[in-house]
Amino acid sequence: MPKARPVPQAADICNIPCFDHARVDAIKSALADKEERLPALAGFYKLLGNANRLRILMALGEGELCVCDIAHVLGLSMAATSHQLKLLREQGWLGMRNDGKMVYYRLDNPALLEAIKGDLSMLRGRDE
């Protein structure tokens, strides 16, 4: 269940007169249309807000890997790696297959990897 947003108090609301009522109303309307999807979008970015999960996605962008290989790539324990994989799998971004006792993961959303790589390129440009 989504958390209730706090009700703004009089002291919290801007008291400066609005100069462009039409623009403000249009933006408020556009945001209202998206309001119900914002929690899901926030969850999406929260999931991507972890460097280990980003590393996993990038590693799986190179091809299918078993959990132990992913753990070695990341330098994490099997338990920590499995936890991160579970979160990504629950989002629907990863596929998995069992081969005996081994579990292999693959990236099921290549567009996600391209977006991450694009963002990395953008950040590289800022640092130069």
pLDDT, tens digit, 9 for 90 and up, residues 39-83 = 887 887 888 889 999 899 989 988 999 999 999 999 999 999 999
Residues 41 and 75 in one domain: no
What does the pLDDT average to over 16-39? Answer: 82
Is 93 within 8 Å of 108 (Cβ atoms)? yes
Q: What was the pLDDT predicted at 19?
A: 76
Is 81 within 8 Å of 73 (Cβ atoms)? no
Q: What was the pLDDT predicted at 75?
A: 95
CA distance 55 to 70: 9
Mean of all residue pLDDT scores within the chain:
82
Please give the model's pTM, rounded to 2 decimal places.
Answer: 0.67
Q: What was the pLDDT predicted at 56?
A: 94
CA distance 40 to 45: 9
CA distance 5 to 47: 22
Decide if 80 is inside a domain: yes
Provide the domain count of the chain: 2
Residues 26 and 58 in one domain: no
Q: How many helices (H) and strands (E) does the chain have?
A: 6, 3
Instruction: Name the residue range of residue 122's domain.
Output: 50-127
SS3 at position 107: strand
Q: What is the CATH number of the domain that holds 118?
A: 1.10.10.10
Q: What was the pLDDT predicted at 105?
A: 96
